[in-house]
Amino acid sequence: MTDFMMLGKMANQVAGAYGQYSTSKIQFQMQESARKHKEAMTALSAAQQFNAVTVQEAQTRDAGMRAAVSLNMQSLGNRSAAEVQAAAAGVAGNSVDQTMIQLERSALSANAARKLTLKSKRQAHGQQRKNIRMQQIYGRDISTPIPPSPTSALLGLGMTLLNSYNENQPKGETTSDRLAAFFQ
């Protein structure tokens, strides 16, 4: 092969190595952009889920307050009705006291059940928040992409050019043959 042809082949190899380096650099930038987009979408999704849980919490508190007011109104109404009935019947003493105690117990039981339900719902909301956080953690991309380096591209090009040079040398004159003779 003539020197001119060998130089042409090497120029093609240099151009190919530069093209490969440019392509890998663009691919790296695209992967980084895709990773950042995925992280942004994950954060947006988590924010929407947190917002939904916050709305549910507010609705639960509101329902709890309405239930408490309703129970208090019902308890006061029952107590008043019992006092009026007792007075109308002319009943006094123990039977009125027993009725009032039963009404109080009933009101306390209903209030305790309401509080227990609210506590259970609050715990469920807390668990939902934990689950959202865990999804965020497990969904994170923790890979460390390594950008292409000009040094490794030049090293690869050097090896390619050396191989091309050795292909055009007579037997015993290649670089590896010369190194082997040098170290003997």
> Residue 55 has what pLDDT?
96
> How far is Cα of residue 139 from the mean position of the Cα atoms in its chain?
4
pLDDT band at 112 (very low <50, low <70, confident <90, very high): very high
* pLDDT confidence bin for 1, thresholds 50/70/90: low
Query: Is residue 91 one of the residues assigned to a domain?
Result: yes
Residue 73 has pLDDT above 80, yes or no: yes
Average pLDDT, the chain: 86
**Number of helices (H), then strands (E), in the chain:** 4, 0
Q: 127: exposed, middle or buried (C-beta count within 10 Å: 0-12, 13-18, 19+)? A: exposed
Residues 6+ apart with CB under 8 A from 31: 145
pLDDT at 93: 64
Average pLDDT (128-151) is 85
Residue 15 pLDDT: 87
Residue 135 belongs to a domain: yes
Q: DSSP letter string over 29-57?
A: HHHHHHHHHHHHHHHHHHHHHHHHHHHHH
Nearest-angstrom CA–CA distance, 148 and 52: 43
Domains contained in the chain, number: 1
5: in domain: no
Structural domain boundaries enclosing 91: 55-139
Residue 94 has pLDDT above 70, yes or no: no
Residue 174 lies in a domain: no
In a domain, 177, yes or no: no
Of these ranges, 19-23, 82-86, 168-172, the one predicted with the greatest mean pLDDT is: 19-23
pTM of the full structure = 0.62
Mean pLDDT for 111-133 is 93
Q: What is the pLDDT of residues 19-69, one digit of tens each?
A: 888 999 999 999 999 999 998 999 999 999 999 999 999 999 999 999 999
pLDDT-based confidence at residue 104 (cuts at 50, 70, 90) = confident
Cα–Cα distance for residue pair 7/126, rounded to 1 Å:
71
Candidates 4, 6, 5, 24; CA nearest to 165 is: 6
> Is it the case that residue 95 has pLDDT exceeding 80?
no
Of residues 154, 177, 181, the one with CA closest to residue 165: 177
Q: Is residue 155 part of a domain?
A: no
- Going by C-alpha positions, the residue among 171, 57, 28 that lies closest to residue 125 is 57
Which whole number is the average pLDDT over 172-180?
A: 78
- Identify whether 89 is part of a domain: yes
Tell me, yes or no, whether 144 lies in a domain.
Answer: no
- Categorize the per-residue pLDDT at 80 as very low, low, confident or very high, splitting at 50, 70 and 90: confident
Give the dihedral sign, CA 129/131/135/136.
Answer: positive
CA distance 56 to 132: 15
Contact predicate 53/132, CB 8 Å: yes
- Distance from first CA to last CA of the chain, Å, rounded? 31
